Amino acid sequence: MSTTATPALMTADEFYDWANRPENAGKRYELDAGRVVEMPSPGKRHGMACGLVARKLFAYLDVRGEGYLCINDTGLIVARDPDTVRGPDVMFFEDSASSMDDLETKFGTKPAHLAVEVLSPNDKPGKLNKRLAELFAFGTPLIWVIDPEIRTLTIYQPGRGRRIEQTTLEESEESTGEDILPDFKCKVADFFAMPGQ
């Protein structure tokens, strides 16, 4: 009998405990409407792009002096009954946490102000659109989608009604944090440049 069997539906708490069992170490999972979904391991290019985005945002936060980042696919409960737990690549939060002790030890339960998804070669448009819709429905007001293959940044924000506004920036253009990250500016190319370039 396998010890990795999963029940038909899980809550976010049950999923957290299950995903952190020793036999599941080194594997990546999300919870989709109560069902466990194993995620493929991202490639090296994906990891580097996530690191470069985080580096720019950490530098911004150091100057700003408030807010914090979560990286490495930190779990975020975006829906309940049945529960859905997603892991955006990078998230910026601006809630009342003033120290590590104030942060939840399990999955996040508050919307990020900014969620960043770095595309992998196996990401499908339908899957991405579903994730974006879930994050917006949960209350995230700004999402960046970074595409390392064609070196673009696509900015998504809620529009009027149920419409989502989308702007794609090329490598030569400059990104801003819109109203969410005041005074943030960065060349899109910097999200793809190795340190020292």
User: Looking at residue 96, what is its pLDDT?
Assistant: 65
Domain that holds residue 103: 43-191
Spatial CB neighbours of 111, under 8 Å, sequence gap ≥ 6: 135, 138, 139, 140, 141
Q: Is the residue at 180 inside a domain?
A: yes
Predicted pLDDT of residue 2: 44
Confidence of residue 86 (pLDDT cuts 50, 70, 90): very high
Could you tell me if residue 15 is inside a domain? no
Residue 5 has pLDDT above 60, yes or no: no
Q: Is 34 a domain residue? A: no
Number of domains the chain contains:
1
Q: Which of 31-35, 53-57, 76-80, 123-127 has the lowest mean pLDDT?
A: 123-127
Q: What is the mean pLDDT of residues 112-123?
A: 90
Q: Is residue 182 part of a domain?
A: yes
What is the average pLDDT across 165-188? Answer: 92
Residue 7 lies in a domain: no
Distance between CA 117 and CA 88 in Å, rounded? Answer: 6
Decide if 5 is inside a domain: no
User: For the ranges 23-37, 90-104, 181-195, which has the lowest average pLDDT?
Assistant: 90-104
| pLDDT at residue number 3 | 47
- Going by the DSSP 8-state scheme, the letter that residue 108 receives in this structure is B
| pLDDT at position 196 | 72
Region 124-133: what's the mean pLDDT?
A: 89
For residue 174, what is the enclosing H or E element?
A: strand 174-177
With a pLDDT cut of 90, the percent of the chain lying above it is 65
Look up the CATH number of the domain holding residue 180.
Answer: 3.90.1570.10
Count the neighbouring beta carbons within 10 Å of the beta carbon of residue 96.
7
Q: Is residue 38, in this structure, part of any structural domain at all?
A: no
Determine how many CB atoms are found less than 10 A away from the CB of residue 45: 14
In a domain, 178, yes or no: yes
